[in-house]
């Protein structure tokens, strides 16, 4: 867990606009998200509840969950998705299902120096990545 828990700052994106397009995110929210450079804090408490707090100039987004249990998350545009997150060694893997039944995958992979979030739109196979440095 110590490899995952911590504070991170955004460094760069890779193929993120293509992922957002495939996921159907409208032009203006997509451009706003691409221009953001979020910080991220990941914690876990004694009861096993995880928290991922993402802070941008526009908003603070807090996601709380327990591993293996379904939870809801509100995405930009007020879209509700259902998620299940599991832990696999140095990774948190979130499977998301949208209101239309489409699935996407978020893989948070952690190292001593930072984290890479791989986002995959399952229907099209399009992937994007966000790179974060540990601070």
Q: Note the pLDDT tens digit of each residue in 10-37.
A: 999 999 999 989 888 888 888 888 888 9
Is position 29 within any domain?
yes
The whole-number average pLDDT for the span 94-118 is 95
pLDDT score of 64: 97
Work out the mean pLDDT of the chain and round it to a whole number.
93
Locate the DSSP E strands across 3-78: 6-14, 39-44, 49-55, 60-66, 70-75
Taking 70 as the threshold, does the pLDDT of residue 1 lie above it? no
pLDDT score of 68: 98
Is position 1 within any domain?
no
- Quote the CA–CA distance of 79 and 99 in Å, as a whole number: 8
Question: Model-level pTM?
Answer: 0.90
Q: Render pLDDT for 46-66 as a digit per residue (tens, 0 to 9).
A: 999 999 999 998 889 999 999
The whole-number average pLDDT for the span 83-108 is 95
Torsion of Cα atoms, 116 then 91 then 73 then 19, to 10°: 40
Total domains present in the chain: 1
Domain extent for 14 = 6-134
Looking up residue 50, the CATH number of its domain turns out to be: 2.40.128.20
């Amino acid at each position: 867990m110590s490899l995952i828990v911590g504070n991170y700052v955004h460094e760069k994106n890779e193929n993120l606009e293509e992922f957002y397009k495939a996921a159907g995110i409208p032009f203006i929210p997509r451009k706003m998200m691409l221009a953001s450079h979020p910080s991220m804090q990941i914690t876990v408490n004694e009861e096993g509840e995880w928290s991922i707090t993402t802070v941008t100039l526009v908003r603070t987004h807090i996601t709380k969950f327990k591993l293996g249990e379904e939870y809801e998350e509100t995405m930009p545009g007020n879209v509700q998705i259902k998620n299940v997150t599991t832990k696999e060694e140095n990774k948190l893997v979130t499977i998301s299902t949208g209101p239309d039944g489409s699935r996407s995958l978020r893989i948070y992979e952690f190292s001593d120096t930072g984290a890479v979030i791989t986002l995959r739109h399952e229907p099209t196979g399009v992937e994007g990545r966000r790179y974060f440095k540990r601070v």
